[in-house]
Structure 1
Amino acid sequence: MIDLRSIGYLLAGIGGTYLVFSFLREQIDTYKLRHIPTIGPKGLFSSYFGRFQFVKRAKDMLQEGYEKYPGGLFKIRTLDQWIVIVTNDNMIHDIRKAPENMMSFDFATRESFQQDHTMGKTVYLHPHHVDVVRTTLTKNIAARFSDVQDEIASAFGDEIPPDAEWKPYPTLNTVMRIICRTTNRLFVGLPVCRDLDYINLNIEHTILVFKSAFLINLFPSALHQIVGPLLSPLPASLKRARKHLAKMIEERIEKDDQYGRDWDGRPNDFISWILDEIPQEKQKELRNVEDILLWVLHTNIGAIHTTSMAFTNILYHLAIQPPEVLDILRNEMESAIDQYGWTKDAMSHMRRTDSFMKEVARMVGTNGTVVERMAMKDFTFSDGTTLPAGSRVAVPGFVLQRDENRYQDADKFKPFRFYDMDRDSAGLTEDAESTWTGSIKHQMTTPSPNYFFFGTGKHACPGRFFAVNELKTLVAHTLLHYDIKLEGDAKSVPAPVWLIRDISPDANISVMFRKRQRLKE
């Protein structure tokens, strides 16, 4: 017979041990960082329980620290540990140039997302997908652009059928389906990219990875190996992915073995690219269905999450613009497409569109903190401040990008801010503007000390060139085929939703669409 009282004592003992362990670790970590100013509770007991403040007050606490310690650094207690926030440009440069064995991007990401359990060890032990995205995907943007544009048109036609009357669509959910289809037209091709279960798999897996990582990080690190497998979305996601992709991958490997890599009709897609990227010495270990599925699922997470958030925010901003701003954007788009067709070259000439998208990213972003790193050894900044090994460090991207000292009228949305900056720095006259090709300095893909949407340094988002071209195509298709407005004729952008450090567009907002009244055929 089960002794419930004994089980109760055991659970109480485990719970008590957990509280004591986490409290002691908290005091040790706090002592190591005692020389760093604190935002939020900092007492012996209050700092331990103050971790929950950051869940609801992340934005306010980051803003408070940025204003209280300008050009310096401060620390905030998050749910699982302290995080040191750096606001000084020289210190940010120190982080950017620090080698991986000093300030680790990979280890910080692995811990934040609990990659062992949510994404699989393959994605960080063998990150060949990063090189595929950085090089092969980027090189193939022009070659595969017609497929991307075709899938965008098809997805819009299915998700938002053109209609003469205004109709509302739940923006974020609709956008995620469109972007999942578009991305996977490149990754796995037709007809899989349009399969409803495959679309739902990638969207659901993306959401579950973030939720699972959040839940696992609520537990002390000593328990991650126990709770991680219980909360992991991987087994179920892999099972569903096999149904759609296993046969395709097996046939691709078999044909490569039989004919080499240049057989007639070999698809120019992510699966071929990742097979080509696997080093010769790793072929036997990694050239299999399971690992390729892990790379496909993982790459979809980045492609779907960031791009969907960005495009939803762009739609919210487009929906409240005065007609003259939309006319400028549409005229630019029509001129570029008339001259270059629906091509990558046309997208590169949409400089005002690029500026609009970058201004949205500057105003909203996707994270309150960016450029997160883990100090693998004691790390000394150029000003002499030392962080102990194990410290997590980040940059307050949201508040930094809205700093009046960095951007004039920083809290004001200026759709052509970066276009004007680029034009002014070039000393451009109105007569020369029509033939001006622009520079890359102020474009959305270019990180800078004042703009961190895609990160910075060697760890800047490897897929940003594809993402920006995809976003421009999405925006162009929207404005050239639809009129849009916010439901209820709202005139202000819906406030983003903060969950700890993550910033997301409000998923409860609908955008109204109708077939464009003055559609240019």
Structure 2
Amino acid sequence: MSSHNVKLPQAFDFGAADGQIGWWPVLACSVLALISLQMLTQKHAIKLNVPTAGYSSIFEPNWLLRMRFLKQSPTIIEEGYQKFKDSIFRVCRNDGDRFIVPNKFVDELRYLPEETLSATMAHAVNFFGEYTSINMIHKGDMSNTQASIHKLTPMLGRLSETMKDELDFALQQEIPKCEGEWVKVQIYDIMLRLISRISGRIFVGLQACRNETWLAASRDFTEHFFTIAMILRLVPRFLHPLIVRLLPQYWRLYNNIETARQILSPIIRERRAQEAAGAPGYVKQEDLLQIMMDSPNAVDNSPDMLAHRQLFLSLAAIHTTSLVATNIMYDLCHHPEFIPPLRSEIMNVLTECGGWEKSAAAKLHTLDSCMKESLRRNPPIQLVFNRQVQQPIKLSSGIVLPAGIQITMPARSLMYDPANVHGDPTEFDPFRFMRRHDEPAQHGGVPKRLFAQTDRTNLNFGHGKHACPGRFFADTEIKLILSHLLLDYDFKYPDGTTRPKTICIDEVLFPDPSARLLMRKRKTS
């Protein structure tokens, strides 16, 4: 097993070196933004007469508020929520305003057609699709990809053994030898590599998932994607065509896309050729790539398009899931008294099920509650349900949302609101959601998996037709990994350290990926 050293993502590392983007381009971009952004946004902004959150005084200029949002967004969003939570309010980001809509409107908004309220357009605008390649979601029908992921969900039971097999292989590759001694590790790096391997097995199959070049491309694509987006947020739009081509991450991102095509396109063509020829012994693979290949849409299922879409699936699945799993480990090391009851439940369930099989994940109620509680306290994204208004929308309150604005909802604030959470929302209580497992199970007795559920106050996975279709896969994957790590290893913070700080970049929150834990193989009787 090789040693890895995870640094702060380049988008957020203002002291980067070795050919990476450092502090000086960011500073230069910021100065340009300060000079021109306020004038441009005021000139072109779509007017909606609602209060603005975050001003420190009546004399604070708009450009300074926008710059403060970069590092102070939790305070600004929470202040707005406390003052205006039953009405619409505005937060000012460097690249434009976002209008935070009360969650009481979620049910009347979530099923509106894309022609009226668009999630895909919001993503393209938020992440500068013409430069990050996310505009490809407008080529063909993105609903085919979402439908493919939904088809994966009922397969998770029979794919449990496959996921367990890949985890066993991944543990051999990525876990350091630590029998009888404490070893310092970057747990985010371990989670990232375990999750990328397991996700790869289910997404692209065994033929590609152990290809180190594919694994690197699927991980690096996300970093390059967000680096480009976060830097462009600081730059006036008229400079984007120039600035983006000066970023090494821009060229690396398109190199990742070409790498994905070189690896996956031949596999796709080979599978199709074998199927068309009726090759003896040919059996369709049970993976997401095959499900997407079977799409009837000629644009969506071309080899190059499928390879490109797989990178975006990795973007959604690998890094976000790794951040969630890392936060859970940080919370448990900060509250080690909760680890023994989790281990007890895991051992009981695995004994009852005869190992990791299809029903095991749904029976881990305590772990499920713990995961949900950690996500409640540490959402990767503060603003969710992001939508671009395509046509004017009149809400039940009478207010009209004009075409062209972006609306969103405050996931973190909702889950810290005492009205929405039983008990003290500022405390970490891994048993907080346990009582809900005692309620009647859904769908004729199927055990609840509360971590992956959405509702009008729990929006971390979205809500409605655009709710994250891969959340049940993430639920199973995290439970599989945590179960084996907690049973087989001890974890703690190094002496003199505690839970690492959360890093804030605009609405994005993530744990310090460079933080260390101590890890030791547990003695087995």
TM over 0.5: yes
The offset of 1:364, in angstroms, is 0.6
- The residue number in structure 2 matching 1:486 is 493
- The residue number in structure 2 matching 1:213 is 229
Separation in 2, partners of 1:151, 1:343: 14
- The residue number in structure 2 matching 1:433 is none
Map 1:350-369 → 2, pairs under 5 A: 350-369=364-383
User: Against the structure 1 CA distance between its residues 139 and 448, is the aligned structure 2 distance closer, same or farther, given a 3 Å change threshold?
Assistant: same
User: Against the structure 1 CA distance between its residues 504 and 91, is the aligned structure 2 distance closer, same or farther, given a 3 Å change threshold?
Assistant: same
In structure 1, what residue type is equivalent to 2:359?
A: D
- Given candidates 45, 52, 71, the residue that maps to 1:56 is 71
Per-residue CA deviations over 1:405-461 (Å, capped at 9, x if unaligned) read 2212000111111112433x459xxxxxxxx97753x71111122212211111110
SS at match of 1:197: helix
Contact 1:171 1:510 (C-alpha < 8 Å) held by counterparts: yes
**Do structure 1's residue 501 and structure 2's residue 515 form an aligned pair?**
no
- The residue number in structure 1 matching 2:115 is 101
Per-residue CA deviations over 1:294-333 (Å, capped at 9, x if unaligned) read 011111111101111111111111223334x222211211
- The residue number in structure 2 matching 1:454 is 461
SS at match of 1:393: strand
Map 1:257-268 → 2, pairs under 5 A: 257-259=276-278, 264-268=282-286
In structure 2, what residue type is equivalent to 1:145?
A: S
In structure 2, what residue type is equivalent to 1:267?
A: Q
The offset of 1:29, in angstroms, is 5.3
Separation in 1, partners of 2:159, 2:99: 42
Separation in 2, partners of 1:317, 1:17: 40
The offset of 1:481, in angstroms, is 0.9
Separation in 2, partners of 1:311, 1:240: 28
User: Against the structure 1 CA distance between its residues 479 and 19, is the aligned structure 2 distance closer, same or farther, given a 3 Å change threshold?
Assistant: closer
Per-residue CA deviations over 1:57-80 (Å, capped at 9, x if unaligned) read 111101111112232221111011
The offset of 1:95, in angstroms, is 2.9
- The residue number in structure 1 matching 2:516 is 510
- The residue number in structure 2 matching 1:85 is 100
Contact 1:54 1:77 (C-alpha < 8 Å) held by counterparts: yes
Contact 1:123 1:294 (C-alpha < 8 Å) held by counterparts: no
Separation in 2, partners of 1:489, 1:182: 34
User: Against the structure 1 CA distance between its residues 121 and 368, is the aligned structure 2 distance closer, same or farther, given a 3 Å change threshold?
Assistant: closer
The offset of 1:119, in angstroms, is 3.2
In structure 2, what residue type is equivalent to 1:509?
A: A
Contact 1:370 1:397 (C-alpha < 8 Å) held by counterparts: yes
Question: How many residues in Structure 1 have an aligned counterpart in Structure 2?
Answer: 486
**Do structure 1's residue 419 and structure 2's residue 434 form an aligned pair?**
yes
Separation in 2, partners of 1:125, 1:40: 41
- Given candidates 324, 332, 343, the residue that maps to 1:330 is 343
User: Against the structure 1 CA distance between its residues 508 and 21, is the aligned structure 2 distance closer, same or farther, given a 3 Å change threshold?
Assistant: closer
Contact 1:132 1:274 (C-alpha < 8 Å) held by counterparts: yes
- Given candidates 442, 466, 472, the residue that maps to 2:479 is 472
SS at match of 1:344: coil
- The residue number in structure 2 matching 1:7 is none
Per-residue CA deviations over 1:70-112 (Å, capped at 9, x if unaligned) read 32221111011111112x3322333324332222111101111
Map 1:17-96 → 2, pairs under 5 A: 22-28=37-43, 32-40=47-55, 46-86=61-101, 88-96=102-110
Separation in 2, partners of 1:216, 1:17: 12
- The residue number in structure 2 matching 1:172 is 188
User: Against the structure 1 CA distance between its residues 23 and 474, is the aligned structure 2 distance closer, same or farther, given a 3 Å change threshold?
Assistant: same
User: Against the structure 1 CA distance between its residues 92 and 242, is the aligned structure 2 distance closer, same or farther, given a 3 Å change threshold?
Assistant: closer
Separation in 2, partners of 1:328, 1:249: 45
User: Against the structure 1 CA distance between its residues 131 and 117, is the aligned structure 2 distance closer, same or farther, given a 3 Å change threshold?
Assistant: farther
Map 1:378-397 → 2, pairs under 5 A: 378-397=392-411
User: Against the structure 1 CA distance between its residues 287 and 99, is the aligned structure 2 distance closer, same or farther, given a 3 Å change threshold?
Assistant: closer
Superposed CA RMSD: 2.9
Separation in 2, partners of 1:370, 1:93: 15
- Structure 1: give runs of 5+ residues left out of the alignment: 1-14, 428-435
Separation in 1, partners of 2:313, 2:435: 34
- Given candidates 231, 235, 240, the residue that maps to 2:259 is 240
Contact 2:103 2:457 (C-alpha < 8 Å) held by counterparts: no
Map 1:100-499 → 2, pairs under 5 A: 100-126=114-140, 127=142, 128-135=144-151, 137-160=152-175, 161-190=177-206, 192-222=208-238, 224=240, 232=250, 233-259=252-278, 264-279=282-297, 282=298, 285-323=299-337, 325-340=338-353, 341-407=355-421, 408-423=423-438, 425=439, 440=448, 443-488=450-495, 490=497, 492-499=498-505
- The residue number in structure 2 matching 1:431 is none
Contact 1:167 1:512 (C-alpha < 8 Å) held by counterparts: yes
User: Against the structure 1 CA distance between its residues 486 and 437, is the aligned structure 2 distance closer, same or farther, given a 3 Å change threshold?
Assistant: farther
The offset of 1:121, in angstroms, is 3.8
Contact 2:53 2:79 (C-alpha < 8 Å) held by counterparts: no
Per-residue CA deviations over 1:351-393 (Å, capped at 9, x if unaligned) read 1110000000001111121111111122222212222211111
User: Against the structure 1 CA distance between its residues 17 and 333, is the aligned structure 2 distance closer, same or farther, given a 3 Å change threshold?
Assistant: closer
In structure 1, what residue type is equivalent to 2:139?
A: L
Separation in 1, partners of 2:339, 2:32: 60
In structure 2, what residue type is equivalent to 1:338?
A: T
Per-residue CA deviations over 1:484-519 (Å, capped at 9, x if unaligned) read 1122264x53221111110111112112111113x3
In structure 2, what residue type is equivalent to 1:334?
A: M
Separation in 1, partners of 2:380, 2:492: 23
Q: Which protein is bigger by CA-based radius of gyration?
A: 1
In structure 1, what residue type is equivalent to 2:458?
A: Y
The offset of 1:222, in angstroms, is 5.0
- The alignment's TM-score, normalised by the length of structure 1, stands at 0.86
User: Against the structure 1 CA distance between its residues 225 and 42, is the aligned structure 2 distance closer, same or farther, given a 3 Å change threshold?
Assistant: farther
